[in-house]
């Protein structure tokens, strides 16, 4: 039987979860009926065992230098050893060679550094773990770095933000290869969401607090997130802060990289996403609770931020949607 050959490249200091969040869904897909099935192999420089960033060691199945195509997918793990890996000319050359012989190429987390070092991301939009995004952009100016999404697909090359976002990207691959029904089966086996949209933000603004040194910005952020349905216009927020609108805007841009108005819109949209996924409230009621002036205003903001409508998001992400209840009942 034909198989989809997948090579996962790792090196000393790679992240074990990057590897597991890719390989486990593919193995599960085989167990529940992927046809043709996936053949997943771990390749390392010299075929040596790799010591993951967690300290565990695993034996390679393939010698990177000896792997030949054609391949279905070539994927590079990230991890704390990514800079050393990206500076390894031999490793980078073989990744570049195999990319030419692969239907699709992907990286997880800082594995994007290896793809960038191979020139595979030049002129492309890509993401990586938020903590390393600025360094990545500085090192590889030819790459259009977007630090927000959990994964980005640009042509046949995909980059995932890091760690568990690899699970979302792999489920997207399974759906692309075998259809949504099989992807749902895999997600159920893994006790996870079907998949988060690729453009979902890596960091929730309800957990990504501004620098602790700026108490005024933190105070306004707390006021916004705790009073989403209230008047949160720039003039009102400036009055709460006791500063001018211009000064408040400067502070927000300096510490959060966005204006107060944009922060309010994103906070309201994220809160609406949470309510869509966890409640049965009508969209109009969610819009009112989150401070939007009607369901249509929420729809526009939601589509701008997540790339899908509120109804589509609820249908795919909600724990209470009819589609999800039917799947749970069937299991």
Catalytic residue ranges: 109
> Is residue 152 classed as helix, strand or coil in its secondary structure?
strand
The tokens of 73 are what? Answer: 């997918």
d(CA 29, CA 25): 6
Backbone phi, then psi, for 300, in 5-degree steps? -65, -45
Question: Is residue 144 exposed (0-12), middle (13-18) or buried (19+ Cβ within 10 Å)?
Answer: middle
Task: List the one residue out of 43, 89, 90 whose CA is nearest residue 64.
Answer: 43
**Residue appearing with tokens 């994103």:** 266
- Spell out the alpha helix ranges (H) of 55-202: 82-86, 89-100, 112-117, 133-139, 165-178, 180-189
The tokens of 215 are what? Answer: 């108490």
> Is residue 102 classed as helix, strand or coil in its secondary structure?
strand
d(CA 171, CA 40): 15
Contact 194, 51 (CB under 8 A): no
Strands (E), 166-274: none
Q: Beta 62-63 vs 38-44: how paired, if at all? A: parallel
Task: List the one residue out of 101, 81, 154 whose CA is nearest residue 123.
Answer: 154
Contact 128, 159 (CB under 8 A): yes
Phi-psi region of 197 (alpha: psi -120 to 50; beta: other; left: phi over 0): beta
């Amino acid at each position: 039987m034909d198989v989809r050959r997948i090579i996962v490249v790792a090196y000393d200091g790679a992240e074990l979860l990057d590897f597991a969040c890719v390989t486990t869904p593919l193995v599960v897909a085989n167990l529940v009926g992927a046809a043709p099935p996936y053949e997943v192999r771990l390749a390392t420089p010299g075929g040596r065992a790799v010591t993951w960033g967690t300290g565990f060691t695993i034996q390679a199945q393939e010698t990177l230098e000896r792997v030949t195509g054609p391949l279905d997918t070539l994927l590079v793990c990230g991890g704390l050893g990514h800079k050393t890996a990206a500076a390894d000319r031999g490793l980078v050359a073989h990744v570049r060679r195999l990319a030419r012989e692969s239907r699709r190429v992907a990286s997880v987390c800082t594995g994007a550094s290896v793809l960038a070092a191979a020139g595979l991301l030049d002129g492309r939009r890509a993401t990586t773990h938020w903590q390393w995004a600025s360094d990545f952009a500085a090192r590889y100016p030819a790459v259009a770095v977007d630090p927000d999404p959990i994964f980005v697909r640009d042509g046949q090359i995909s980059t995932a933000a890091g760690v568990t976002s690899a699970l979302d990207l792999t489920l997207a691959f399974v759906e692309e290869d075998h259809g949504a029904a099989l992807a749902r089966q895999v997600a159920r086996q893994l006790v996870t969401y079907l998949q988060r949209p690729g453009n979902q933000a890596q960091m929730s603004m309800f957990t990504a607090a501004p620098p602790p040194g700026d108490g005024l910005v933190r105070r306004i952020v707390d006021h916004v997130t705790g009073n989403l349905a209230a008047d949160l216009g720039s003039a009102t927020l400036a009055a709460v802060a006791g500063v001018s609108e211009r000064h408040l805007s400067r502070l927000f841009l300096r510490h959060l990289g966005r204006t107060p108005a944009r922060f309010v819109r994103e906070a309201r949209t994220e809160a609406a996403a949470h309510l869509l996924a966890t409640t049965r409230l009508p969209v109009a009621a969610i819009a009112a609770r989150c401070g939007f002036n009607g369901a249509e205003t929420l729809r526009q903001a939601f589509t701008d931020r997540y790339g899908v409508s509120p109804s589509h998001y609820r249908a795919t992400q909600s724990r209470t949607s009819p589609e999800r209840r039917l799947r749970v009942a069937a299991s």
